[in-house]
Amino acid sequence: MSARLAPDMYPLASQVRFAAYQAQEATFRLRGQDIPASLEAVATEGRNAGDAPGSFADMRARLGEALEHLDGLTDDALDAGAFLPIEIRLQGGITFDMNGEQYVRDWALPQFYFHVVTAYAILRNQGVEIGKADYVPHMFPYLRPGSMPGA
What is the model's pLDDT at position 144?
93
**Whether residue 148 has pLDDT greater than 90:** no
How large is the average pLDDT for residues 118-142? 92
How large is the average pLDDT for residues 11-25? 97
The residue among 125 and 131 whose pLDDT is bigger is 125
Using alpha carbons, select from 24, 10, 90, 19 the residue that is nearest to residue 52. Answer: 10
- Span between the terminal Cα atoms of the chain, in Å: 36
Which of 23-32, 110-119, 124-133 shows the lowest mean pLDDT across its residues? 124-133
Is residue 151 very low, low, confident or very high in pLDDT (cuts 50, 70, 90)? low
Q: 90 in helix, strand or coil?
A: coil
Is residue 89 very low, low, confident or very high in pLDDT (cuts 50, 70, 90)? very high
Cα separation, 68 vs 24, in Å, equals 10
CATH class, domain 12-142, is: mainly alpha
Is residue 86 very low, low, confident or very high in pLDDT (cuts 50, 70, 90)? very high
